[in-house]
């Protein structure tokens, strides 16, 4: 066998939650661009339609379904529709997520690292906490559960969860609910990996650092923000969705067949510390 054959995903049935933008769109393009058949689930109907049309024009086998991962019944229905369309389910990316608003400091870096009352623990509302947990943790659980229902009988599959560098280190400018949800998802990955290992189903996580996506109101698209953050990343730049293509393909393909329960950080070295 040629080593390149280990990375083949042609014909695979794939589902990506939050698949119409950001890293989810990156996962979609990485898999569809290598011959997989991908269903993008997303809450944004207009963006979903736009990206589905764009990718189909490129010759990719993609379809879209409007889904809010907080609606577990609709999520289950979308899984059933995708499996009916493809006749199989090989890979699921549990990627959908939202930000949780500000943390207790105003800025990651710079002179304005002052306390932020809007992110203070005593001012955190139940509504804000519950919404983030419901999407970023409960949504991951529901996605993994739906995947297991199809993968266990066939005794094969890949489940890949988007966590965050925030699951591994404290970030004062990120809201507490996001931190808790991502850390919870990371531990859930390990537990589900242990449960499903005997069924030849691998369960792993991708933990991104600072990537240019629409999360957090899209502030990452601001060139000044990118310039400021880049100074503190050892590789001296921020991440873009294309930077995640290789890792996504690796974890979805036979190349990662003996890896499970792992969280792989992709952050340009930011989690290691700062250098000049």
Helix/strand/coil for 98:
coil
Beta bridge partners of 42: 66
Instruction: State the Cα angle at 124 between 119 and 129, rounded to 5°.
Output: 110
- The secondary structure of residue 61, as a DSSP letter, is E
Supply φ then ψ for residue 38, to 5 degrees.
-120, 130
Give the separation between CA 130 and CA 100, rounded to whole angstroms. Answer: 10
Give the separation between CA 18 and CA 75, rounded to whole angstroms. Answer: 12
Active site residues: 178
**Sheet with 201-208, edge to edge strand ranges:** 61-66, 37-42, 13-17, 91-94, 157-162, 201-208, 263-266
Please classify residue 73 by burial: count the beta carbons closer than 10 Å to its beta carbon, then call 0-12 exposed, 13-18 middle and 19+ buried: exposed
Q: Give the torsion sign (CA, 68, 73, 75, 78).
A: negative
Q: How far is CA 253 from the centre of its chain?
A: 17
The two tokens of residue 15 are: 């589902």
The two tokens of residue 67 are: 């889904």
CB-side neighbour CA atoms (13 Å) of 240: 6
Helix/strand/coil for 105:
strand
The two tokens of residue 225 are: 């923000």
């Amino acid at each position: 066998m040629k080593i390149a054959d280990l990375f083949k995903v042609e014909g695979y049935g794939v589902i990506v939650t939050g698949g119409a933008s950001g890293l989810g769109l990156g996962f979609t393009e990485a898999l569809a661009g290598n011959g997989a058949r991908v269903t993008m689930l997303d809450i944004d109907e207009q963006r979903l339609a736009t990206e589905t049309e764009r990718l189909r024009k490129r010759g990719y086998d993609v379809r879209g379904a409007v889904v809010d991962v907080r609606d577990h019944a609709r999520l289950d229905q979308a899984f059933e529709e995708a499996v009916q369309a493809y006749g199989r389910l090989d890979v699921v990316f549990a990627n959908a997520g939202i930000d949780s608003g500000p943390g207790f400091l105003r800025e990651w870096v710079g002179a304005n690292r002052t306390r932020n009352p809007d992110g203070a623990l005593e001012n955190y509302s139940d509504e804000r906490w519950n919404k983030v947990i419901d999407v970023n943790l409960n949504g991951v659980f529901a996605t993994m559960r739906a995947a297991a229902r199809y993968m266990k009988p066939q005794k094969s599959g890949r489940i890949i969860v988007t966590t965050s560098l925030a699951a591994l280190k404290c970030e004062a400018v990120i809201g507490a609910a996001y931190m808790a949800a991502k850390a919870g998802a990371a531990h859930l990955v390990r537990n589900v990996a242990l449960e499903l290992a005997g069924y030849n189903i691998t369960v792993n996580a991708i933990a991104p650092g600072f990537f240019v996506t629409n999360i957090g109101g899209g502030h990452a698209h601001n060139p000044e923000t990118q310039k400021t953050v880049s100074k503190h990343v050892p590789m001296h730049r921020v991440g873009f969705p294309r930077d995640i293509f290789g890792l996504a393909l690796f974890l979805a393909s036979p190349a990662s067949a003996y890896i499970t329960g792992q969280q792989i950080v992709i952050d340009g070295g930011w989690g290691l510390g700062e250098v000049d």
